[in-house]
Amino acid sequence: MPTAREELLDAAHAALAARPWPTVRMVDVAAAAGVSRQTLYNEFGGKDGLARALVRRAADSYLAGVERALGSAGGTGDRLAATAAWTVRATRANALVRALLTGCWGERLPHPAAARRPPASAVPAQRRADAGPPTPAELLGQVRDRAVAALDGGRPPHDRAVLAMTCELALRLALSYALVPSPGGMAEDGAPLVRAVVDRLPDVAA
C-alpha cells in the first residue's frame, strides 16, 4: 500500500502533467492525495521541498530503469542498446527525466535548488531530496559508472577506460535521439545504432 509520501508525490506529478508548476497549489495536492495539508508540510516542509522530492524521485526512477536495462540478457552491445532505448523512452514519457538529462527545464517545470540550510527533516528520503537534483553531467556520469560496473567483467584498467568511453558514447547517442527524433522509417529509440557502434569496437564487444 502506498505511503502518504508516495500518494503526495503521485498527486504532485499528476498536477504537474495538467498545469505549470507555478500554478500547482499545495492544498490541491493534499486533497488529491486524500491527506491534510499539514501532512504534506510535515513530509516536505513546503512547495520547494515537494519539488525537490518530485525531481529526485524522477531521477531515482530513471536510474532504476537503467539498472534493469543493464541487467538484461546479451552482450555489451545488447545491454547498452537496452539502456539507450530506456533512456529515450524515459525522456519522452517524463518531462522531469528529460529536464534532468538535458538541463532544459522550461517554465512549466519545477527547477529546485538544494536546500539553503541543512535539512531538519527526519525522513531519510527527504534529506536525500534536499540535496537538490543532479546536473545533467552528474546524472550521465552516474549512468556511465553503473554501466561500467555492470559490464566490466574483470577487464584490465586500459580496457575499463575504453569501456567507460563506450558507455558514455552510447548514452550521448541516446540523448541525441531524445532531443531530435530520427527521420521516418528509422528506429526511434537509438538501440540499433548503439548496438551497431558497440559491436564494431572489438575491445568492448564481448
Nearest to 69 by CA among 159, 175, 134, 150: 150
Nearest to 51 by CA among 120, 89, 99: 99
Q: If the chain, 206 residues long, is cut into consecutive pieces of 10 residues, what is the mean pLDDT of each piece?
A: 89 95 95 94 92 94 97 93 95 94 91 59 60 88 95 79 91 90 68 88 60
**Domain boundaries 58-199, corresponding CATH code:** 1.10.357
Q: What is the pLDDT of residue 126?
A: 60
Domain definitions of the chain by residue range: 1-44, 58-199
Distance CA 20, CA 95 (A): 12
Q: What is the pLDDT of residue 187?
A: 58
- Tally Cβ neighbours within 10 Å of residue 152: 12
pTM of the model: 0.86
Does the domain at 1-44 match CATH 1.20.1250? Answer given as no
